[in-house]
Amino acid sequence: MSVSVLVGSQWGDEGKGKIVDILSEKYEIVTRYQGGANAGHTVEIDDKKFVLHLIPSGILRENVICVIGNGVVIDPTALLEEISLLEKNDIKVAGRLFISHNAHLIMPYHKLLDSISESGENKIGTTGRGIGPCYIDKYARKGIKIVDLLNRKVLEEKIRENLIEKNNLLKKVYEHAELNVEEIIKQYVEFDKAIDKYVKDVPVYLNNAISEGKSILLEGAQGALLDVDHGTYPYVTSSSPTSGGACTGTGIPPTKIDSVIGIVKAYTTRVGNGPFPTELLDDDGESLRKIGAEYGATTGRPRRCGWLDTALVRYSAMINGFDSVAITKLDVLSQFDQIKVCGGYELDGKTLKSFPTDVDRLSKVIPVYKKLPGWKKDISNCLSYAELPKATKDYLKFISGEAGIKIDIISVGPKRQQTFYVD
């Protein structure tokens, strides 16, 4: 149990932050491996609520070391704001946070290009954090990395080179004002001074830690269905949230990963565009949003809500290899007389048991539901599996069988103490 990957099983916002905070009591190091400040991971401790975007959620446990891997794209402004917010809350960051020298930097033109491309037709509904354009530059081998900050001459050259192309694009294609290269250089030189102390050779650090027997939790952002390869492309993010991304995004080899933990919300939500077979556009959807406080932790956008889709979770379990899962937000279903669960789909009169990721077919499927009785009891104070009403246990048994998952952790509220292990 020394190296584990934690992955969102659906379209993000499953409650990863909360479960990372719970699990990090048992881990020495927590590492983010992909995504950027598009993530919003919420942790509630007593009367304090923290929303982490770039820094691993383990930062709230003082004995835990936090690492940002090479797979993450780092927005300097967002990172410095987050560090300062944590320090204002008496959470020590220096000496406890390390950043890979190979992580790519989000530049002002990435955010600008993200917002310009979202102002046209065929919107993805991105978070506007510059994620897509930054990964484009990474794969086009034009990106600027943390390590480039350490050499002023290289940094200047790379920014100037990039600005020639980006300003051409802005001016000639988008008829937008050009960006000031000197200002950007100045801004990133300042950033270098602020983050120098955090930079590390992360693959060496993490692999040495594993050799010393230290435990590492790898914190995924987003969710499996937002994965650029395995998700509902093109309505995805531009990184690999699935468990495979944990290796490329950190430098930890697959042979060193001991377990994969999935986070499954007891119903389904999605932010942004793209097909969502079990979406509810009626009063039940409104109730899920209201009771579950389903508003984006990063953008504040209302989340689209629907019933649990076990065909989707089964697909997610297959591509991620979940050893166990945590079920979150079970309490949100407490007020429903009846709860529906999708077990598969119909398409063109035929039954589909598997999840079609191509958006054309996925947008046409008709979910096949099973209706389960609600429990109509407040479960948010339950402290053990034994205390749950019979109908809640039946719901858990049913979804576990349908999705082929082993439920180890149950979350019945946003606070730390509203969590228990299934014996």
Chosen residue from 222, 250, 278, 310 binding ligand IMO by CB under 6 A: 222
- The Cα 288–Cα 336 span in angstroms is 9
Distance CA 283, CA 296 (A): 20
Beta carbons of 235 and 229 less than 8 angstroms apart: no
Reading phi first (left if > 0) and then psi (alpha if -120 to 50, else beta), residue 46 is in: left
Residue 411's nearest CA partner among 61, 4, 42 is 42
What residues numbered 62-101 form the site for ligand IMO, per CB under 6 A?
Answer: none
**Rounded (10°) CA dihedral 125, 126, 128, 134:** -140
CB of 3 or CB of 225, closer to Mg ion: 225
- The verdict on 294 binding Mg ion (CB under 5 A) reads no
Q: Which of 78, 297, 330, 362 binds Mg ion (CB under 5 A)?
A: 297
Measured from the CB atom, the residue of 163 and 333 that comes closer to ligand GDP is: 333
φ, ψ dihedrals at 89, nearest 5° = -95, 20
C-alpha 131/C-alpha 401 separation (Å) is 36
User: By rule CB under 6 A, what string of x and - marks binding of each residue 33-62 to ligand IMO?
Assistant: -----xxxx---------------------
Q: Distance (Å, rounded) from C-alpha 330 to C-alpha 16?
A: 14
Residue 41 designated active-site: yes
Closest CA to 157 of 129, 135, 188, 136: 188
Identify whether the C-beta of residue 305 lies closer than 8 Å to the C-beta of residue 292: yes
Among 251, 272, 285, 343, binds ligand IMO (CB under 6 A): 272
Binding residue count for ligand IMO, defined by CB under 6 A = 23
CB of 374 to Mg ion, least distance (A): 26
Q: Which stretch binds ligand IMO (CB under 6 A): 100-108, 125-133, 159-167, 355-363?
A: 125-133
Q: Please identify which residue in 3, 9, 13, 356 interacts with ligand IMO, judged by CB under 6 A.
A: 13
Catalytic residue, candidates 21, 41, 114, 137: 41
Is residue 244 involved in binding ligand IMO (CB under 6 A)? no
Residues binding Mg ion (CB under 5 A): 13, 40, 297
Residues binding ligand IMO (CB under 6 A): 8, 12-13, 38-41, 124-127, 129, 131-132, 221-223, 226, 237-238, 271-272, 297
